Amino acid sequence: MNQQEKLATLRLSPSDKKVIDSFLKKIPAESKKLHTDGKTLDLLTMGGNNIASWKSGGVFIGKGRPAGRSDQTIIRELIRRGGDIVKYRPTLKFRDESQGAHHGQVDMKLSAIDNSTGETLGYVEYVLYNDEAYISHILVKKEYRRLGIAEAMMKYLYREYGKKSVNWGMTTPEGTLLKKKIDIRYGHKKLARKLLRLAKICLKTLSD
């Protein structure tokens, strides 16, 4: 059985569970699979750093976690043992800037930045041409994926240019799923606004 298969079938021993208890009590401890210095809980394998950590407000799941079944097993045990789990959710700010202009087009880059740390978590490169935005590249740092950052950046562009003026071009399978997800949510919001306007018109008519 290789390392990935072992992680996929992770079983927590009594000593592993004692490490989780120690982490929740902020006491250092270690087993064959887990380690804690009282502040951070780590899985003792490659890529197992920072499953969870103590921060102001409770126990925070590490960035990009859960990353697999082993993480899920540990997080479930943390919750079962009374851990007040808070998933990492960065507060974003956006920087939209020109990278240069040529042949009637403007090369743009939209960056998503963690408002508390100033770290750039991802970006969208796109081209402005004839008042339309043509997407060329979307990237989110690996450790910050599955946190809604790509969706937040594309929603920013929808607000700036309008849904019909954002051209996704050729997309990867992941990009296609993201587009469908955003289009559905964006469409539902527009429908809700239309229904609200109709309701107001009906109420005004009835009151008259």
DSSP 144-170: GTTSSHHHHHHHHHHHHH-GGGEE--S
For the domain made up of 92-201, the CATH class stated in words is alpha beta
Q: Where do the domains of the chain lie?
A: 3-87, 92-201
Residue 204 has a pLDDT of 64
Compute the distance between CA of residue 112 and CA of residue 69 in angstroms, rounded to an integer: 29
Sheet architecture: strand order including 166-167: 92-102, 105-114, 120-129, 132-140, 166-167
Omega of the bond prior to 66 within 30 degrees of 0, cis?
Answer: yes
Angle at which helix 149-161 crosses helix 173-207, to 10 degrees, equals 50
- DSSP for 14-62 reads HHHHHHHHHHHTT--EE-SSEEE-SSEEEESSTT-S-SEEEETTEEEEP
Which pLDDT belongs to residue 152? 92
Cα torsion for 128, 129, 131, 137, to the nearest 10°? -40
Measuring CA to CA, which residue among 165, 114, 173 is closest to residue 144? Answer: 114
Q: How much is the pLDDT for 90?
A: 78
Q: What is the pLDDT of residue 6?
A: 44
Q: Are 122 and 144 in contact (CB under 8 A)?
A: yes
Question: b or e along 28-57 (b: 16 or more beta carbons within 10 Å of the residue's beta carbon)?
Answer: ebbbebbbbeeeebbbeeeebebbbbbeee
CA 178 to CA 153: how far, in whole Å?
A: 11
80 contacts 61 by C-beta, under 8 angstroms = no
What single-letter amino acid sits at 186? Y
Give the residues of the chain that fall short of pLDDT 50: 1-8
Residue 57: its pLDDT value, please?
61
Structure tokens at 89: 């959710």
